[in-house]
Amino acid sequence: MTVRAESRLERLLHHGVFCVTAEVVPPRSASPEGVTAQARGLVGYADAVNLTDNPTASAHMSVVAGAGLVAAAGLEPVAQVTCRDRNRLGLTSDLLGAWALGARNVLCLTGDPPIVGDHPEAKGVYDLEVTELIGLVHSLRADGRLLSGAQIESPPRFFIGVADVPLAPDYRFDRLERKADAGADFVQTQIVFDVGAFEAWADAARARGILERMFVLAGVAVPRGPKSARYMRRHLPGVLVPDRVVSLLEEAGADAEVEGVRLAVEVVAKLKTIPGIAGIHVMGLGQMGPVRRVIDAAGLVPRPAVA
C-alpha cells in the first residue's frame, strides 16, 4: 500500500504503528460544548476520532460541524458519511465542507434505515450506494473530479474508510473486496469479543490478499455489565459475545464495569498478536471513561507523533 491521502492516521499506519481510533457522537444540541468536551477527553488517547452521522437514524448535530470542532480541539477527525440522508449533491457538499474544516479521513457508510430512528417516517435517500460513494471520494482525491465529470479546484485528499461485520452469520468477502476495488484504504470492524472467530476471519482475509490492500482496525468495546453484553449479543449484528464474558460480568457484581475494562484489555492484547491487524477502533457506547481506561491499561498511551 502506498500513501495516497493527506491523513496523519494513514502516515501512522504506513509507519507500522498499531493505531487507535475512537468515537465522538455529536449531540442532540446546537451547542458545541458536547463535541468539544468529548474530543478533549480523547486527546493523547486516540490517533483519530470518528464523528458519527445521525447514528441509529436519529437526528444529531451535523458531522461537518463536528469535524471542525474536533479539529479545533487538537484531534484528527474521521467524518462518517452515510448514503441514507443525502443525494450526490449533498454528499459532495459535505465532503468538501468537512475537508475545509479539518477532516482528513472519511468513513463511507450506507446508514441505518430511517425506520429504526426517531423519524421513522423519513424517506431514505440512497441516491448513491456505498461503493459509489467510495468512488466519488476516490475520484475527488485522484482526479479532482465530480461524478458529473466536472473538475474542481483544491480537491480533498481523504484517507477512505469503510465498515465491515466480519462475524456476521452470512458473511461474504465479496462486499468488502468491492469496497477495496472502489478505492477504500482502511476498514473499521464491528465489535470483537470472540477473538478466536475474528482470527479465523483474518486468516481468510489474509489468504485473499485483503490485509495487503486495506488497513484493518478491529472494533473494541467495554461491556459495562451482563445486561449490556446480552443486549449486544441479541441486537448488534455480527457481535458474538461468548458465554464466558457474560458469566464473568455476572460474577463481578458491582465491579462489572471494572471487569468489562479488563476483558476489553484482554481482547486488545490478543488482537495485537494477529498478523496484519493494524489497530483498534474503541467504541464507548455512550461513555468516555471506559474508553480511556482501556487504551491506557492496554499500554497504548502516549500516542506517537509522526510528521
pLDDT for residue 258: 96
The answer on pLDDT for 285 being more than 80 is: no
Lowest mean pLDDT of 1-5, 276-280, 295-299, 302-306, name the range: 1-5
Mean pLDDT of the chain: 96
CA proximity to 167, closest of 203, 204, 194: 194
Contact criterion met (CB below 8 Å) for 75 and 42 = yes
pLDDT for residue 127: 98
The answer on pLDDT for 287 being more than 90 is: no
Confidence of residue 3 (pLDDT cuts 50, 70, 90): low
Residue with cell 477512505: 160
Burial of 2 (0-12, 13-18, 19+ CB in 10 A): exposed
Domain positions in the chain: 1-164, 187-300
Residue with cell 426517531: 118
Contact criterion met (CB below 8 Å) for 282 and 291 = yes
Which residues on adjacent β-strands are paired with residue 82? 109
Q: What are residue 92's phi and psi, to 5 degrees? A: -65, -45
Confidence of residue 207 (pLDDT cuts 50, 70, 90): very high
Q: What is the pLDDT of residues 77-129, one digit of tens each?
A: 999 999 999 999 999 999 999 999 999 999 999 999 999 989 999 999 999 99
**For residues 132-159, average pLDDT:** 96
Q: What is the pLDDT of residues 18-74, one digit of tens each?
A: 999 999 999 999 999 999 999 999 999 999 999 999 999 899 999 999 999 999 999
Q: What is the pLDDT of residues 185-197, one digit of tens each?
A: 999 999 999 999 9
**For residues 227-237, average pLDDT:** 94
**With left for phi above 0 and alpha for psi between -120 and 50, is residue 98 left, alpha or beta?**
alpha
According to the CATH classification, is domain 1-164 in 3.20.20.220?
A: yes
Same fold, 1-164 and 187-300: yes
Which residues on adjacent β-strands are paired with residue 21? 48, 281
pLDDT for residue 307: 59
Q: What is the CATH number assigned to the segment(s) 187-300?
A: 3.20.20.220
The answer on pLDDT for 5 being more than 90 is: no
Confidence of residue 4 (pLDDT cuts 50, 70, 90): confident
Contact criterion met (CB below 8 Å) for 5 and 183 = no
Contact criterion met (CB below 8 Å) for 27 and 287 = no
Residues in contact with 82: Cβ distance below 8 Å, sequence separation at least 6, in sequence order: 53, 54, 109, 110, 111
Q: What is the pLDDT of residues 260-283, one digit of tens each?
A: 999 999 999 999 999 999 999 999
User: For the stretch 214-253, what's the b/e string if a residue is b when 16 or more beta carbons lie within 10 angstroms of its beta carbon?
Assistant: bbbbbbbbbbbbbebbeebbeeeebbbbbeebbebbeebe
Residue with cell 478466536: 196
Contact criterion met (CB below 8 Å) for 116 and 56 = yes
